[in-house]
Amino acid sequence: MEVVSNEVSIRTGAEKMPAHLARPASGGPYPALVVVMEAFGLNDHIRRITNRFAAEGFVAIAPNLYFRQPNNVVGYNDLPGAFRLMGSVNDDQIVADMGAAIDHLKALKEVKPAFGTVGFCMGGRVAFLTACRNSAVRATAPYYGGGMVKARQPGVKPPIEYVDSLNAPVLAFFGGKDAHIPITEVDEFRDALKKAGKPAEVVFFPDADHGFMCDDRPSFHPVHSKEAWARTIAFFKEYLG
């Protein structure tokens, strides 16, 4: 499917947040996705992923959640820079900014009222958190989101503590070689969703590492990334129509 994409500006509170927007070139209305960046920022990889979702029949938007910070994209070899940027945002602000991205989509004539969230790395956590805290989200697919069940910062509630207000089915992906997310936390995440009675599928690839969807990272896994992509597209088409 032919895609058109451009950089847009989203009003969030009194500020304007840059975002990458991609959509099928014609037809519609289409279901919509908010694509959430990794800890490294809104880079070319996330833009390409956003365009790929558009090619599958979605209007997709990737907001720059770090826009308040200077130098808000860092390389994959710059973990200190990524941690600095991650530490510059807080959950309430992120949920508000994600809500602003959804509101932006709602105003587009090409969009029908069916919204999902999908994210990678830090974005996996944000995608799930937003689904728990924004009732407009009807499906969420977090990829290797850390800190889902255990707080990584003092005084910050992990997303799973908001699970009672989740109204979206979950398709979550994790890797067995991921040093950032212990298998025990994957199990706890799965168990908490089940205990809360939420429809969820947690996919675990034993030989996949953190970042296995990103072809710009050494951890890229061509087989599992292809399988996860197909499952994600089928999932969103089922629940968003």
Residuewise pLDDT in 10s, the chain (241 residues): 999 999 999 999 999 999 999 999 999 999 999 999 999 999 999 999 999 999 999 999 999 999 999 999 999 999 999 999 999 999 999 999 999 999 999 999 999 999 999 999 999 999 999 999 999 999 999 999 999 999 888 888 999 999 999 999 999 999 999 999 999 999 999 999 999 999 999 999 999 999 999 999 999 999 999 999 999 999 999 999 8
210 given a catalytic annotation? yes
Q: What is the pTM of this model?
A: 0.97
Q: Work out the burial of residue 180: count CB atoms within 10 Å of its CB; fewer than 13 is exposed, 13-18 middle, 19 or more buried.
A: middle
Q: Work out the burial of residue 179: count CB atoms within 10 Å of its CB; fewer than 13 is exposed, 13-18 middle, 19 or more buried.
A: exposed
Which residue in 210, 214, 221, 224 is the catalytic one?
Answer: 210
224 given a catalytic annotation? no
The torsion region of residue 59 among left (phi > 0), alpha (psi -120 to 50) and beta comes to beta
Which residue in 178, 209, 214, 224 is the catalytic one?
Answer: 178
Edge-to-edge, what's the strand order for the sheet holding 3-12?
3-12, 15-24, 59-63, 30-36, 111-120, 137-143, 170-175, 200-205
92 given a catalytic annotation? no
**What token pair was written down for 173?**
């992906």
**Do residues 20 and 5 touch, judged by C-beta distance below 8 A?**
yes
DSSP states of 148-182 as a string?
SSS-SSTT---GGGGGGG--S-EEEEEETT-TTS-
Alpha-carbon torsion, ordered 85, 77, 47, 99, to 10 deg: -20
Which residue in 121, 209, 214, 221 is the catalytic one?
Answer: 121
Closest CA to 136 of 9, 33, 63: 33
